[in-house]
Structure 1
Amino acid sequence: MCAIAGLFYPATPKPVDPARITAMTDVMAHRGPDGSGVWTAPGVGLGHRRLSIIDLAGGAQPMASADGALTVTFNGEIYNFAQVRAELEERGAQFATNSDTEVLLHGWQAWGPALLDRLNGMFAFALHDARAQSLFLARDRLGVKPLHYVELSDGGVAFASELKGLVAHPLLRRSVDPAAIEDFMALGYVPDDACIVAGVRKLAAGHYLHLQRGKAIPAPARWWDVDFSRRARGSVRDLQAELTEHLRAAVRSRMVADVPLGAFLSGGVDSSAVVALMAEASGQAVKTCTIGFDETGYDERSHAQAIADRFATDHRVRTVAADDFALIDTLAHAFDEPFADASALATYRVCELAREQVTVALSGDGADEALAGYRRYRFHRAEERVRGLLPEHLRASVFGTLGGWYPKADWAPQQFRAKTTLLALGDSGGAAYARSVGVTSPALRIALYADGMRRGLGAYRGEDRYIATMASAPARDGLDAAQYADFKHWLPGDILTKVDRTSMAVSLEAREPLLDHRLIEFAATLPASLRIRGGQGKWLMKKAMEPWLPRDILYRPKMGFVTPVSAWFRGRLSGEAAGLARSPILATWFDPKAIERLASDHTLARAEHGRTLWQLLMLDRALGRMFV
């Protein structure tokens, strides 16, 4: 795993100072502590920081073709590089290294952009073609690896793995995009189609950008998408067997490394499945690690230990306090943009633990999105059935009225919080689902914003992208559309950003076998009844794993990394909550008095605003680092 950065001048080949590229890569040294390199030519410069994983002696970058016509800087892993290499060698290609990077050079010579279709991996790379006078930027199908880019005032296009790499360039104009603040307050992260720094863009998952000298900067082109509009045929037994083989292949392909390898083990279905299949494929004990909490309601150590015992793994556990919020500033630095998924604290800790013994760790991320594992999918599917029973105007009238009348009861058990459900039934499926994945409601955000922020935003709302994506999704039903939207927004913006930044912060490569694109493409064709059945999400995956995992692991309630931020703001962080109203940074966009009331209502337990306070705290810290 690595960091990449560079510059390209589309209009005219201006000289590129190597020191400028070095500065952009050096601020990302945590992503690649094992080596660095810079290459420049008229109008172009490429930089690289290396975390050595494959071909430790021969994979230095930027890497050039034998004739010097092509140069590439690459972040990621190509899991099927041996197969692609064999195909290229049959065509006459001669390789000088054993690295997956060289496959990109020969692959470009053979197929051009169609090379991407042959790759199975996680990647972001920049490839310069001297003959065509072009720079080709590409990102993997699901967006596992990040890539930011911006057009500078001198006409150059700069790119970098992390935002801090662009900020290191002196011509980047640092100003906040207010729409990105709205996006963050709505969703808890700045999505992949936005950036907190105005003018900066993120190359979308499954897209490439082909810059050519003498031509205008084009829009990125999509080279892959997931399709929920088709349905697989076959018996449950046959589909279960096919899913099992996809799972096996995905795990085995991600076990190739020339450095120590292990796995995160939470004791949930997904990480347990990955560990089980790793143990099946490995001749040695799998190295696993678990983070435990000193508070019973948040602790899964016993479940993880049961799996470790079952598969005789080399297991390590570390316990952290439930009020382990000492990483706030560390995370603000790692993420650059504001990021309010508080489980990043625990994810950082488990990455930290893993890095003590391994350089590569497999995770269980992705199965919830692919196979409908989140509880919100079950709720959405049930609500969609009800919506189908009544005409839209009648639903809006009946359920909207009941929802407005029903009292809000944040204090009550989930099954008694009917207000949210009634309002959701009165709205469209897209609008209701967008609210379900959100953090701070539109009404509360508007109440918190300063007058100028409200006027500037106008009718724009962060949830709009979800509604639009679901409306145009290649989908057969509402569940399909919700999962598709999560693949476009939630997965790259939250889950994969969290894993990438926390793992790279400690120079650990995290791999997600359950996001193998072949597995994702197959899962998208499964009938909804095989994704959700009998109140169980990921139903077919759980059936497939029954030969490996005990039922009390497969069918216990999902827990995940839960962080008690609400309790923190009524305890040791109560002073931080009150201090948010005095922040000169937040005062640019928020009403200090509104924040003061919000903090007071929460700390005195008059209302529940823990997640919004956490958002404001992380926004304040992130903007303070980036813009002050």
Structure 2
Amino acid sequence: MCGIVGILDTRGSRSIDPALLRRMNETQHHRGPDEGNVYVEPGLGFGHRRLSVIDLSSGLQPMGNEDGSVMVCYNGEIYNYQELMAELQGLGHVFRTRCDTEVIVHAWEEWGAACVDRFRGMFAFGLWDRNKRQLFLARDRLGVKPLFYAMLPDGMLAFSSELKALRSLPGLPRAIDPCAVEEYFAFGYVPEPRTIYQGALKLAPGHTLLQQVGAPLAQPHRYWDVPFKPHHGMTARDAQGELIERLREAVRIRLVAEVPLGAFLSGGVDSSAIVAMMAGLSDQPVNTCSIAFNDKAFDESAHAAQVAQLYRTAHHADTVDTDDYGLLDTLADLYDEPFADSSAIPTYRVCQLARRRVTVALSGDGGDENFAGYRRYRYAMAEQAVRGRIPLALRRSVFGTLGKYYPKADWAPRVFRAKTTFEGLARGLVEAYFHGVSLMSDQMRAQLFSKPFQQKLQGYRAVEVMQAHARRSPTQDPLSLLQYLDLKTYLPGDILTKVDRASMAHALEVRVPLLDHKLVEWVSGLPPEMKLHGGEGKYVFKKSLEAHLPQEILYRKKMGFSVPLAAWFRGPLRERMRSALLGPVLADAGIFNRAYLSEMVEHHESGRRDYSAPIWSLLMFEAFLRKEAAA
């Protein structure tokens, strides 16, 4: 796994400063501590930091073809590179290495921009074709690997693996994007393609960008989407058998490495499934890593130990204090823009643990999105069943009024939060789902933001992110549509971002078998009732695993990777909360309504409301602003 940077003069062949490239490159040293290199020619510069995993002796980048007319800098793994190498050799291409990087070079020569259709893996790369005067940027289908880019005012197009590399450019416009702020306080992250800056963008998953020298900034091109094309005539038994075979293959192709390899093991269904498949494919004990918490309310280590014992893995577990809040400022450095998923703390710790023993770890990320495992799908489908029986106009009139006047009860179990239920029934499916996953409701954000900042938004609402994806969705089945929305927003924006930055902070490569695009395509075509059945999420996945994992692992209540935020803000982080939310950094930003910040602090401290998630998002935003001011 690696870090990449690049600069292209879109207006001609001006010189690229090698020292500037090296500075950009070194901001990402953690992504590739084994080797670093830069390449410069008139009008172009590439930089690369390498974490050596395959072909340790000859995979130095940037890498070119025989005459150097095509150059690439690349981050990721292409798991079918050996088959592609054989095919390209049969077509007359000559290879000097046995690494997947060189496959990209020759695949571009043979197939042009369509080369990405042939790659099976996780990747982000920049490729320069001197003869065509073209820069080609590409990101993998599900967004496992990140790619940022910016067109600078002087016509230089820059790209990088992390936003911090672009931020090191003197010419990058760093004005904060008001729409990104609105989206952040709704989602807890800034969804693709925005970044927190108006002057930088993320290349969305499944997209490429082909920039011609002498032309304006090109628009991204979508080369892949989750198809949700139904399988016809497939029985449940057939689906279970084929699912295991496809999962086993997705794991098998991710076991190629010339460095120590292992797996994360939380004791949940997804990570346990990956370990079960790995154990069946390996002659040696699988290295597994898990985190235990000293607070049993958050601890899943006994379940992880049960799976480790079943498959006789080489298991390693560290106990982490649930009051592990010292990472707050570290997280602001890692994520470069505001990021409010507090499970980034235990994720950072499990990556730290894993790196002591392995360089590559397989994870179970993607199972909930693929197989409808989140509890919110169950709630959403229950609400949708009611919506289907009552006309929209009547729902808005009756339930909208009830939702407006019914008292809020955040403290109660969801089934008793009638206000939330009434509000959800008054909306359509997409808008209701957006409000269900939002950190702060529209009403809360309206109170949070100052009047001048609201004017900057010009009526923009973060729900438009989901509405735009819904308009492009290949499926209108309600459950499938919600999965599609999560695959486009929560998965790349939160889950994969969290894991990429936390793992790369420790120079650890994480591979994600459940996001193998061929597996994702096939699973998307399974009937929705095989995924959510009788209130049981991941139904077909769990049924297929019954021969491999105990019932108490498959069907126990989902815990998640959480931390006790509410208690922190009433205890050890109380003063930190007050100084951040009521201090000068947020006050001077011109974004927030100070009276509402004070209300949130007082109501949370008193126990009247649980504002822990919004408060955490504000702490992370304040940390980002402090870092900006110090830059």
TM-score range, shorter chain: over 0.9
* Paired residue secondary structure (2:584): coil
Aligned to 1:280: 280
Q: Which residue of 1 aligns with 2:234?
A: 234
Deviation of residue 626 (structure 1)? Answer: 2.8
In structure 2, the partner of 1:608 is 610
2:475 counterpart residue number: 475
**2: distance between equivalents of 1:269 and 1:564?**
23
CA contact (8 A) 1:11 1:213 kept: yes
| 2:146 equivalent to 1:114 | no
Of the structure 1 ranges 457-466 and 254-263, higher mean CA displacement relative to structure 2 is found in 457-466
Shift of 1:133: 0.9
- 2:113 matches 1:128: no
Counting only pairs closer than 5 Å after superposition, residues 74-113 of structure 1 correspond to structure 2 as 74-113=74-113
What is the CA distance between 1:229 and its match in structure 2? 4.8
**Residues of 2 paired with 1:232 and 1:116: CA distance?**
29
Distance in 2, Cα, partners of 1:366 & 1:461: 27
Query: 1:232/1:5 Cα in 2 relative to 1: closer, same or farther (>3 Å)?
Result: farther
- Contact 1:430 1:471 survives alignment (8 Å): no
Match of 1:300 in 2: 300
Aligned residue number for residue 40 of structure 2: 40
Q: Is the 8 A contact 1:399 1:426 kept in 2?
A: yes
Q: Deviations over 1:422-471 (max 9, x none)?
A: 21011111110001111111111111211211121132111221133224
3-state secondary structure, aligned to 1:169: coil
Partner of 1:351: 351
1:418 aligns with 2:418: yes
The alpha-carbon distance between structure 1 residues 585 and 527, as it changes in their structure 2 partners (threshold 3 A), is same
Moved more, 38-47 or 443-452: 443-452
Instruction: Say if 2:141 and 2:207, in contact at 8 Å, map to a contact too.
Output: yes
Counterpart in the other structure of 1:223: 223
CA distance in 2, matches of 1:435, 1:165: 34
Secondary structure of the structure 2 residue equivalent to 1:618: helix
Q: How far did 1:232 drift?
A: 4.2
Partner of 1:62: 62
The structural deviation recorded for 1:213 is 1.4
Q: Determine if contact 2:581/2:619 at 8 Å carries over to the other structure.
A: no
Pairing 1:158–2:158 present: yes
Q: Which moved more, 1:247-256 or 1:583-592?
A: 583-592
Which residue of the partner structure matches residue 207 of structure 1?
207
Post-superposition shift, 1:584? 2.7
Preserved CA contact (<8 Å) 2:149 2:203: yes
Is the 2:181–2:196 Cα contact (8 Å) retained in structure 1?
A: yes
**Deviation at 1:360?**
0.4
Query: Which range moves more in the overlay, 285-294 or 579-588?
Result: 579-588
- 1:352: Cα distance to partner? 0.2
Within-5 A mapping of 1:391-402 = 391-402=391-402
Aligned to 1:22: 22
- 3-state SS in 2 of match to 1:394: helix
Unaligned runs of 5+ in 1: none
**Is the 1:150–1:200 Cα contact (8 Å) retained in structure 2?**
yes
Name the CA distance, whole Å, in 1 between partners of 2:84 and 2:525: 27
Alpha-carbon separation, structure 1, partners of 2:302 and 2:565: 24
Correspondence for 1:188:
188
Shift of 1:627: 4.0
Shift of residue 402, structure 1, vs aligned partner? 2.7
Mapped contact 2:565–2:612 kept (Cα < 8 A): yes
User: Residue 432 of structure 2: SS of its match in structure 1?
Assistant: helix
**Matched residue type, 1:311:** Y
**RMSD value, Cα:** 1.1
Secondary structure of 1:537 counterpart = coil
Look up the match of 1:331: 331
Paired with 1:217 and 1:196, the residues of 2 have a C-alpha distance of: 20
Calculate the TM-score normalised by the size of structure 2.
0.98
Question: Cα distance, 1:25 vs. partner?
Answer: 0.6
Q: How far off is 1:233 after superposition?
A: 3.1
1:513 maps to 2:517:
no
Separation in structure 1 between the aligned mates of residue 460 and residue 217 of structure 2, nearest angstrom: 27
Cα distance in 2 between the residues matched to 1:27 and 1:581: 30
Aligned to 2:72: 72
Q: Secondary structure at the match of 1:533?
A: coil
Letter in 2 for 1:190: V
* Equivalent-residue separation in structure 2 for 1:39 and 1:409 (angstroms): 59
What SS does the corresponding residue of 1:585 show, helix, strand or coil?
A: helix
Q: Is residue 550 of structure 2 the alignment partner of residue 538 of structure 1?
A: no
Cα deviation code 1:206-238 (max 9, x no counterpart):
000101112222201011111225344311111
What is the CA deviation profile of residues 388-434 of structure 1, one whole-angstrom value per residue up to 9, with x for unaligned ones? 11111112122222323432111222221122112101111111000
Indicate the SS of the match to 1:623. helix
Partner of 1:536: helix, strand, or coil? Answer: coil
| 1:263 match: secondary structure | strand
Asked if the contact 1:143/1:492 (under 8 Å) is kept, the reply is yes
State the secondary structure of the residue aligned to 2:76: strand
Q: Report percent identity of matched pairs.
A: 50
Give the alignment of 1:446-465 within 5 angstroms.
446-465=446-465
- Rounded to whole Å, the distance in 1 between the matches of 2:83 and 2:560 is 36
Q: After alignment, is 442-451 or 39-48 more displaced? A: 442-451
Q: What amino acid maps onto 1:602 in structure 2?
A: H
Q: Give the whole-Å Cα distance in 1 for the aligned partners of 2:232 and 2:270.
A: 23
Aligned to 2:599: 597
Check the 8 A contact 2:582/2:597 in 1, yes or no. no
Distance 1:581 1:125 in 2: 39
- 1:476: how far off? 3.2
Letter in 2 for 1:186: A
**Equivalent residue letter for 1:449:** F
**What code does the residue aligned with 2:607 have?**
A
Q: Deviations over 1:302-350 (max 9, x none)?
A: 0000000000000011111111111111111000011100000000000
Change (3 A) 1:199 1:317: same
Contact 2:172–2:199 under 8 Å retained in 1: no
Shift of residue 121 of structure 1? 0.6
Tell me: CA distance 1:218–1:152, structure 2 relative to 1, closer, same or farther (3 Å).
Answer: same
Q: What CA distance in whole angstroms lies between the structure 1 residues aligned with 2:122 and 2:629? A: 31
Q: TM-score, normalised by structure 1?
A: 0.98
Q: For structure 2, list consecutive stretches of 5 or more residues without a partner in the other structure.
A: none
User: Does 2:269 align with 1:269?
Assistant: yes
Instruction: Map Cα deviations across residues 261-304 of structure 1 (whole Å, 9 max, x no partner).
Output: 00000000000000000000011000001101111110001000
Q: Residue 487 of structure 1: SS of its match in structure 2? A: helix
Query: Match of 1:493?
Result: 493
> How many residues end up aligned between the 2 structures?
628
- The C-alpha deviation readout for 1:104-151, integer Å capped at 9, x for no partner, is 011111111111111001000011101101110000000110010001
